[in-house]
Amino acid sequence: MSNMTFTMIKPDATAKGHTGNILQHILDSGFKIKAMKWVHLTAQQAGLFYEVHKERPFYGELVSFMSSGPIVAAILEKDNAVSDFRAVIGATNPAQAAEGTIRKLYAASIGENAIHGSDSNENAKIESDFFFSAFERF
Ligand code: ATP
Ligand code: MG
């Protein structure tokens, strides 16, 4: 899956009405949408998704935030999808994100940072499989 990545538009961004602008930004950056859904995760589902961060001090906050409202989950396709998408979203902390990145434009804080992007090809596959069956990918 070196040409695929996985993203979520997080609850802060959907609540503020940024969903459309963020999807347009993703398309304008050259990504194709292979799968997409609008879902509200339970705390249990968010906890499972972020299980790798279980030992981090912000885990509880992250799980409650990610289950606080609806998100858009999507699989995106482009050459070098994982690294190119990380460049499009910007640094985890929006205060350190480069100008023009999605987090710089739409995120308020390191915790509520508007969007997720996979950090490796391996995790892109794991995360995509968490949300989507083969019948939901086009
Ligand atoms: P993501 O995985 O969501 O794309 P990331 O890879 O930039 O973000 P990670 O280190 O994987 O950052 O952290 C996952 C998420 O946990 C962050 O996006 C953010 O929402 C939250 N997070 C990370 N660090 C902190 C922190 N110090 N305080 C609060 N929340 C944090
Ligand atoms: Mg991450």
Q: Domains, the chain, ranges and CATH?
A: 4-136 (3.30.70.141)
- Banded model confidence at residue 61, pLDDT cuts 50, 70, 90: very high
Residue pLDDT, tens place only, 89-98: 999 999 999 9
Separation CA 93–CA 104 (nearest Å):
9
Residue pLDDT, tens place only, 16-50: 999 999 999 999 999 999 999 999 999 999 999 99
pLDDT at 2: 77
Establish whether 116 is a catalytic residue.
Answer: yes
State what percent of residues in the chain have pLDDT above 70: 99
Question: Is pLDDT above 80 for 1?
Answer: no
Q: Which residues line ligand 1 (CB under 6 A)?
A: 53, 58, 61-62, 92, 110-111, 113, 116-117, 119
Q: Using the mean position of ligand 1's atoms as its centre, give its distance from the Cα of residue 92 in Å.
A: 6
Q: Using the mean position of ligand 2's atoms as its centre, give its distance from the Cα of residue 52 in Å.
A: 9
Closest CA to 118 of 133, 106, 129, 107: 129
Report the nearest-CA residue for atom 3 of ligand 1: 116
> DSSP code of 23?
H
**Contact between residue 131 and residue 5 where contact means Cβ atoms under 8 Å apart:** no
- List C-alpha distances in Å: 63 to 20, 99, 117, 130: 24, 28, 16, 16
- Answer whether 0.95 is exceeded by the pTM: yes
